[in-house]
Amino acid sequence: MSHPRGPLSQLRRGHEELVLGLLRKHGPLSRGELGKRCGLSRTTLYDILAELVASGAVVTATSQEAPRGRGRPAETLTLNPDAGQAIGIDFARRALHVAAVNLAHEVVGSASEPHDADLPWEQRVELAVRLVGSLTGTGTGALRLGALDAIGVGVVGVVGSQHAGEEDRHAEEGRDQPEPHPAQVLLRERFGVPVLLDNNTRLAALGESIWGAAAGGQDVLYLRLSHGVGGGLVVGGSLHRGAYGLSGEFGHITVEPGGARCDCGGTGCLETVASIRAVLDAYRAAGGRAADVPELVKAVRAGDRAALTLLGGVGARIGEVLAALCNAIGPSVIVIGGELAETGEALVAPIERALRDHVMPVSRHRVSLRRATLGEVAGALGGIALVLHESPLLSRYPAGPDLAEDPIPDKESR
């Protein structure tokens, strides 16, 4: 199902997804039934069906219940249950995570593997192919990758709108085509399908909003407290990128004017207070001993006073920032992820207190604060969500409850 991605193919892909959506909802349908329900002309529909069958996304079956005396038995069309629709890959700094869904949008598996931070892209992609193979090569849930729709990829760092989504789109829009990301080039060569790209922390936000702590949330703020402090916004159910792909840089909001120098070039950023290194350094400065987050978690669980006081202060800073963002953006759910969230209530309770204190009173009981639940595969799952969201069915046709009522045109189409 790899097409050129012009406006024409956009419309075509919209039609394809309309047909797939009807088959997803109704199960097997004849060409005639599909024609009645989709409102497309016969020529367009048959053309679309031919391509869907050729790609392996749709399979044909001869109905047993066809009226015998009246010509050929009716052929029905159905989704190929073995066809993979999307793969998500998170190229994190020191590990690789993959996940896959089938055409019914069911997550059929995920896998992770750590690696050195300096592993070259060729080898990272090799590793990705191997991990994807582990999801698809064996077992009953095995996927046929021939019908793969697209791959969603998370990477570290700023991903502007010039990279985000699909690389081919830009030339058509008359913009300068940017250098594609090496992961895009290599994966596209390998799988022959579009490769959608975004920042992996933002993708984790999207993943948590669909399969994780904020499942079903349309307006979600995700904050990751890790080696860096960042996050992502889901707005109306879609990933928010901002004008230059710089959305979600919560870690660089000033919390201490004139404070410590930050890697971004600024001073007093939230990251200088709430990153793993900042917290461990402050803990040591307060006389505590913790080489890493698990040791800090241990100290917290043991009721260590210095650790609790420190996290109380850090949580208050985080909560103030979240309150400001809540007033501006109005999310229904805030998700706290990253390794530092493992410190649990010692951090989350002061965050919540400061959030309630500083958010507009009218919002106080509307926004819900939760810890992330997807762990390290959140980004890979977000990559899959990116693919599903780029699907014209989900983004441009009325989806979900609307489709459930069947877009049958007023009169029969020919």
β-pair type (107-114, 75-79): unpaired
Complex with a copy of itself: residue 15 or 124, whichever CB lies closer? 15
Binding to a copy of itself (CB under 8 A): which residues in 225-244?
233, 235-236, 238, 240-244
Complex with a copy of itself: residue 104 or 360, whichever CB lies closer? 360
For residue 262, with 0-12 CB atoms within 10 Å meaning exposed, 13-18 middle and 19 or more buried, which class applies?
A: buried
Radius of gyration of the chain (CA): 24
**How many angstroms separate the CA atoms of 237 and 215, rounded?**
10
Does 61 engage in binding with a copy of itself (CB under 8 A)?
no
Residue 393 CB, nearest approach to a copy of itself (Å): 11
**How many angstroms separate the CA atoms of 19 and 85, rounded?**
15
For residue 397, with 0-12 CB atoms within 10 Å meaning exposed, 13-18 middle and 19 or more buried, which class applies?
A: middle
Binding to a copy of itself (CB under 8 A): which residues in 233-292?
233, 235-236, 238, 240-250, 252-254, 257, 264-266
3-state class of 2 per DSSP?
A: coil
Of the candidate spans 75-83, 90-98, 109-117, 399-407, the one that interacts with a copy of itself by CB under 8 A turns out to be 399-407
Tokens read off for 364? 């106080």
In sequence order, the β-bridge partners of residue 232 are: 222
**How many angstroms separate the CA atoms of 338 and 283, rounded?**
18
Which of 4, 67, 287, 401 forms a contact with a copy of itself (CB under 8 A)?
Answer: 401
Q: How many residues bind a copy of itself (CB under 8 A)?
A: 80
Binding to a copy of itself (CB under 8 A): which residues in 165-204?
173-174
Lay out the site mask for a copy of itself across 4-33 (x = CB under 8 A, - = otherwise): --xxx-xxx-xx------------------
Does 403 engage in binding with a copy of itself (CB under 8 A)?
yes
Binding to a copy of itself (CB under 8 A): which residues in 316-355?
320-321, 323-325, 327-333
Residue 73 CB, nearest approach to a copy of itself (Å): 26
Complex with a copy of itself: residue 127 or 393, whichever CB lies closer? 393
3-state class of 45 per DSSP?
A: helix
